[in-house]
Amino acid sequence: MEFLRPTTWAEALAAKADQPDAVPIQGGTDVMVEINFSVRRPPALLDLTAVPELATWSLDGGRYRIGAAVPYSTIIGELGGALPGLAQAARTVGSPQIRNRGSVGGNLGAASPAGDSHPPLLAAGAAVEVESRGRGVRMIPADAFYLGVKRSALLPDELIRAVHVEPAAGPQYFSKVGTRNAMVIAVCSFAVALHPDERRVGTGLGSAAPTPRRAREAEEFLAAELDWSAPLQPALLARFGELCAGAAAPIDDVRGTAGYRRHAIAVLARRTLTWAWHDHLERRAA
């Protein structure tokens, strides 16, 4: 197996253009498991750990630009206030070791329906910055990024450079069901992000369909029906849960049945919206 180790972003793009079947490796917490278990044996590994700018984040034009290599531990430690939904999800990933190595870029690269960063990125309306040597930069909205089970809109000669997320305009929550409290792949997960300035609520479902996805009908329902100055009505909350469950297209697998996942999505949707709404009304009253 060839091992490529660029030290600049330009070199990394050149290596990927010259050898599109080279598999990028960042934290290695997905790639090394696959190699060690002989799930894949790529002809070449493209190690991105020596490209320094991938491991940095910045606030550009009112949006956070989080380099593909920024580990979960940095998101938790440095961006928890600005991006609470993503930070909550990051706190549930693996163990401290995995959170120190694993990155949002790697989560996007793997594009697993169970990846924990996807629901908050969808709910917040994030965009993925990808680049190739030949065609330059493309910005892909998160809800156009996931195409199928472990398939994304990333083309063979492209690399993920960063993810762009606006600072939270309102309360955000993430919740995950697992078979235990730590080191667990989500049975299903859900994220909600309130955008009070736009009178809009964003959603993201994880591990409940072939791809992470938004519950669009549920979002439209809330945009039409929510009274942003009043407590949540139980009937509205129940309908929101139903619409979120309706957006799911889950499967039966070792972690849970489709029926359980649909039920759990409704519970998580009601629960996270209730938490967020509580914070929203408290902030209004303050």
CB environment 70-102: b (16+ within 10 A), e (fewer): bbbbbbbeebeebbbbbbbbbbbbbeeeebebb
- 118 neighbors 205 (Cβ within 8 angstroms): no
Residue whose CB is less far from ligand FAD, 176 or 195: 176
Single residue of 33, 39, 149, 230 touching ligand FAD by CB under 6 A: 33
Residue whose CB is less far from ligand FAD, 153 or 251: 153
For residue 224, the minimal CB distance to ligand FAD (Å) is 33
Find the part of the chain contacting ligand FAD (CB under 6 A) among 55-63, 93-101, 196-204, 242-250. Answer: 93-101
Residue whose CB is less far from ligand FAD, 16 or 214: 16
Residue type, 276: A
| Exposure on the CB side of residue 133, measured as CA atoms within 13 A | 15
Residue 260: Cβ within 10 Å count:
15
- ∠ at Cα 130 (99, 44), nearest 5°? 70
- 162 neighbors 68 (Cβ within 8 angstroms): yes
Binding mask 180-199 for ligand FAD (x = CB under 6 A): ---x-x--------------
Residue whose CB is less far from ligand FAD, 30 or 143: 30
Single residue of 70, 83, 93, 269 touching ligand FAD by CB under 6 A: 93
Q: Determine if 48 is a binding residue for ligand FAD (CB under 6 A).
A: yes
- ∠ at Cα 135 (46, 115), nearest 5°? 50
Single residue of 23, 122, 177, 188 touching ligand FAD by CB under 6 A: 23
For residue 262, the minimal CB distance to ligand FAD (Å) is 21
Residue whose CB is less far from ligand FAD, 115 or 202: 115
Residue whose CB is less far from ligand FAD, 155 or 169: 155
C-alpha to C-alpha distances, 157 to 12, 25, 83, 120, 143, nearest whole angstrom: 10, 15, 30, 27, 21
What three-state secondary structure class fits 270?
helix
Binding interface with ligand FAD (CB under 6 A): 23-31, 33, 48, 68, 92-94, 98, 101-103, 105-107, 109-110, 115-116, 154, 159-160, 183, 185
